[in-house]
Amino acid sequence: MPVALPCPVGVHAHGIVWEGAAGSVVAPTEQLERDGREAVEASVELAKRLYAVADYSILIAPPGQGGPTPSSCRLRFNWAFSLMAGPTSGQSTNIIRHELGHVILHKQVNLPPSAAIPAWLNELSAIAFEDDASANSRLKIAELLARQGALIPISHMLTMPHPEQLAASEALHRGKVSYTSVAPETVGFYTTLKVLLDLMVKNNGENGLLGVLTKCARNHGDLHALVLHLTGSISDSDLDVKLKLQARGEDKKPL
Ligand SMILES: [Zn+2]
């Protein structure tokens, strides 16, 4: 049985409608329509693997064009945001994939977006849905940060607020557009999460990995202990060393 997401993704000036089951698309340009389709198709496959769900039906729609009303909508995708990357660059596909990673996490946890989901787990899911180009660029940065000793320590990572959300709320106070602000810890946050994700996939495979983590969050389980378990670590400092080796590519070298 396909699982229908409770909410359309995609509001704002430029509308796109994509119904995974019915297969209809309305987008401002053909390129954006293709970007939306590609993002949904890739995300459905990733959701099956990472969350071990049988099937997924995803609808991307502005209000009044095939989706539920905005008031029932818990998550909205800001289409204008993806256009910042350039409407013909194909980057919008990756941005939509990332945002669907957030949406699908919330669907699986079945909690309001603001409730009980740690910032790191929310972002980990989104990063897991990104494309190969994005993964490669994050790994390049990871190697640099690891050499500088600048990956975020796991004890801080698992408890810190989302650096971009902090920056966004501060920017809104100053009357600026929230999504153009970047906090000092943003790069380290995303980069360290990518390395953590890869380490967990290396140890456990992809299948159902995010399902295990989100189930633990939903049941108010010990996520910290689960992360140590999934990375084969005996302590935070042990995991910090593993992350550093993973990021520097030294985990693969012979002793
Ligand atoms: Zn995100």
Q: What is the pLDDT of residue 114?
A: 52
pTM of the model: 0.81
Q: What is the pLDDT of residue 111?
A: 62
Q: What is the pLDDT of residue 142?
A: 97
Residue 255 CA to ligand 1 center (angstroms) comes to 37
Residue 173 CA to ligand 1 center (angstroms) comes to 21
pLDDT tens figures, 21-45: 434 445 666 777 778 788 888 988 9
Residue 113 CA to ligand 1 center (angstroms) comes to 12
The segments of the chain whose pLDDT lies below 50 read 1-25, 63-64, 66-82, 87, 179
Of 148, 151, 143, 158, residue with least CA distance to 241 = 151
Q: What is the pLDDT of residue 167?
A: 67
Residue 122 CA to ligand 1 center (angstroms) comes to 7
Residue 230 CA to ligand 1 center (angstroms) comes to 22
pLDDT tens figures, 91-110: 778 888 888 888 788 777 76
Residue 102 CA to ligand 1 center (angstroms) comes to 7
